[in-house]
Chain A
Amino acid sequence: MSKKLLFTPLSTFFNRTLTSIPQRFSHHLKQSLHSSAPIIPSPPFTPCDNLCYSSPFGFLRFCRKISCSKSEENFQTTCWNCHAVPQSTPFLFCQSCCSIQPVDHSIDYFQIFGSERKYDVEGIDLEGKYKEWQKKLHPDLVHSKSQKEREFAAEQSARVIDAYRTLSNPLSRAIYMLKINGVEIDEEQTISDPELLAEIMEIREEVEEATNSEALNDIRSQMQEKLQNWSNSFAHAFQRRNFEEAKKAIRRMTYYCRVIEEVVKKL
Chain B
Amino acid sequence: MAEPAYTVASDSETTGEEKSLPLPEIAIGIDIGTSQCSVAVWNGSQVELLKNKRNQKLMRSYVTFKDESPSGGVSSQLSHDIDMLFGDTIFNMKRLIGRVDTDPVVHASKNLPFLVQTLDIGVRPFIAALVNNVWRFTSPEEVLAMFLVELRLMTETHLKRPIRNVVLTVPVSFSRFQLTRVERACAMAGLHILRLMPEPTAVALLYGHQQQKVSHETMGSGSEKIALIFNMGAGYCDVAVTATAGGVSQIKALAGSTIGGEDLLQNMMRHLLPDSENIFKSHGVKEIKSMGLLRVATQDAIHQLSSQTSVQVDVDLGDGLKICKVVDRAEFEEVNREVFEKCERLIIQCLHDAKVEVEEINDVIIVGGCSYIPRVKNLVSNICKVTEFYKGINPLEAVVCGAAMEGAVASGIIDPFGNLDLLTIQATPLAIGIRADGNKFVPVIPKNTTMPARKDILFTTIHDNQTEALILVYEGEENNAEQNALLGYFKIMGIPLAPKGVPEINICMDIDAANVLRVLAGVVMPGSREPVVPVMEVRMPMVDDGHGWCAESLNRTYGATMDLVTLKKA
Contact = CB atoms under 8 A, between A and B. Distances in A.
A13 B535 contact: yes
Interface string A224-241: 000000000000000000
Contacts of B508: 9-11, 14, 55
Interface string B526-540: 111111000101000
A134 B531 contact: no
Nearest to B352: A264
A154 interface: yes
B412 A11 contact: no
A143 B515 CA distance: 13
A127 interface: yes
Contacts, number: 118
Contact of B423 (A2, A6, A138): A138
B423 A135 contact: yes
B569 A188 contact: yes
Interface residues of B, number: 48
B248 A134 contact: yes
A79 interface: no
A7 B455 contact: no
Contact of B512 (A4, A16, A128): A16
B570 A3 contact: yes
A147 to B, nearest CB: 7
Contacts of B570: 3, 188, 190
B513 A7 contact: no
A122 interface: no
Interface string B325-352: 0000000000000000000000000001
A132 interface: yes
**Chain A contact residues: helix, strand, loop or mixed:** helix
A5 to B, nearest CB: 9
Contacts of B247: 135
A156 B348 CA distance: 33
9 contacts: A6-B504, A9-B456, A10-B506, A14-B537, A54-B453, A131-B245, A131-B246, A140-B409, A141-B423
Given A10-B521, A130-B250, 13 more contacts: A10-B522, A14-B537, A58-B456, A128-B245, A128-B246, A131-B248, A135-B246, A139-B514, A141-B409, A143-B412, A144-B18, A144-B24, A158-B452
A-B complex: 7 closest residue pairs judged by Cβ atoms:
A139-B513, A188-B569, A131-B248, A10-B508, A144-B412, A13-B535, A10-B506
Interface of B: 1, 18, 20, 24, 224, 243, 245-248, 250, 352, 409-410, 412, 421, 423-425, 450, 452-456, 458, 504, 506-508, 510, 512-514, 520-522, 524, 526-531, 535, 537, 569-570
Interface of A: 2-4, 6-11, 13-14, 16, 53-56, 58, 62, 127-128, 130-132, 134-135, 138-141, 143-144, 147, 150, 153-154, 157-158, 161, 165, 188, 190, 264
